[in-house]
Structure 1
């Protein structure tokens, strides 16, 4: 029996093309799964990047705040140091005149931590501030002095006085002191005193 070979080929083509969309569906299904995986992976990566960005931004803010706080503390410390610098510098170079009694001919100087009182034969004075000496042993302070005289003191006379300047030089326990009237610039006297020595006064009568 004769069979047309072209018919067989046609039949085979029909057999192969019975479901023409089946292959496309399988291919699209595979592509669909791949796209889902890509989208999922992309989403995870984006979430990771966003989270990392927030983390580093938070850490950066913390570091910035910490640096700002540290800078503020440093500025406060520097300001305090600047405020204290003049006092520290002057106090560092100067020391207090030794307290106690300094005695000499016709003068007595009683030094405390807050000032001093001076007594002469016929006068007395006060220094209302702490006396400091520089690194060379010198000092220069102002005070108020009042003259004395024998006999009774009139009411209100004790309050009168005049400004004076005490300029001294200390060498170990010995002091050379010049007293000057601040108004007239007149030198009242030059005295030599020794720390711890008794004064030799001849008070007015």
Structure 2
């Protein structure tokens, strides 16, 4: 890096000011790293996110950075940064205005995907419910589409996840990270079948096209 001022040449390290936060790309959107990666790898990218937070220009990577945070369940930082950045930019029609280029703002559509990441994720075809939602805030969503063609609905009231329903639109294997320590599947006749998650807390179910499944928290 050789900035020149008149006849003076100053040699030094170039200041890093990212527009696109490339060091976080393996987490999102490349998805080479996820919640299901090794703990050491997740810790590395958690540190990377904190490091880069003060080294990017906060223009084109706000959505990207906060999706990455949500993928690692860095809930407080992801939620607060999203709320702060978009606050004051939202218009009555739900779109956004940004001084840099007016009403044209690609992030105004990407923010819908970002909010979805707070509520439901399906990286590696594994569904996670409220993976990055503040425990003190109530929320619910209906028919968010996951990978594999599953429509997912659930509620988060008083810090408790409930009313978890999933519809399979095309059949195939459903993989769900259990939101509870004990989980069951309620059948059409009201009976509940206990499910056994694997060592990572994931339950796997073969589904039929159009099948509706209701998951419940089992009593210990």
| TM-score bracket relative to the smaller structure | under 0.3
Q: In proportion to residue count, which structure has more helix?
A: 1
Relative contact order (C-alpha < 8 Å, sep 6+): which is higher? 1
Q: Which has the larger radius of gyration?
A: 1
TM-score by length of 2: 0.24
